[in-house]
Chain A
Amino acid sequence: MNEQEFLNWLETLLGERRLTPEQTDDLRRQRELFDAERQVIEAEFQGRAVGYIADQQWVQDCVPDLLDRAVRVFGGSRQLYFEPIGYTAFGEG
Chain B
Amino acid sequence: MNLARSSGSSSRRPYQTGRAVGQKNGSQTATQVDWLVDTGSDYAVVWRTIGNAFDVVLAVGVTASPTTGGGGIQVVTGITTEFEVEDSYGVAHTRQSSKYVGIKSNNAKSNVLGMEQLADVGASVTWDPSSNQGTMRI
Chain A: residues with CB nearer than 8 A to chain B? 1-2, 5-6, 9, 12-13, 16-19, 23, 27, 31, 38, 51, 53, 62-64, 67, 70-71, 76, 79-84, 88-93
Chain B: residues with CB nearer than 8 A to chain A? 36, 38, 40-43, 45, 51-52, 56, 58-76, 100, 102-105, 109-110, 112, 114, 116
Whether A1 contacts B65 by the Cβ 8 Å rule is yes
Given the known interface contacts A76-B58, A83-B63, the answer about A93 and B72 at a Cβ–Cβ threshold of 8 Å is no
Whether A90 contacts B69 by the Cβ 8 Å rule is no
- Chain B's closest residue to A12 (CB) is B105
Whether B102 contacts A93 by the Cβ 8 Å rule is yes
- Chain B's closest residue to A10 (CB) is B62
Residue from B64, B103, B112 having most chain A Cβ neighbours under 10 A: B64
Please give, as numbers and ranges, the residues of chain A lying within 8 Å of B76 by CB-CB distance.
18
Whether A64 contacts B38 by the Cβ 8 Å rule is no
Whether B110 contacts A18 by the Cβ 8 Å rule is no
A80 to B62, CA, bound (A): 6
Given the known interface contacts A18-B76, A79-B59, A91-B114, the answer about A63 and B66 at a Cβ–Cβ threshold of 8 Å is no
Given the known interface contacts A90-B45, A91-B114, A92-B38, the answer about A67 and B102 at a Cβ–Cβ threshold of 8 Å is no
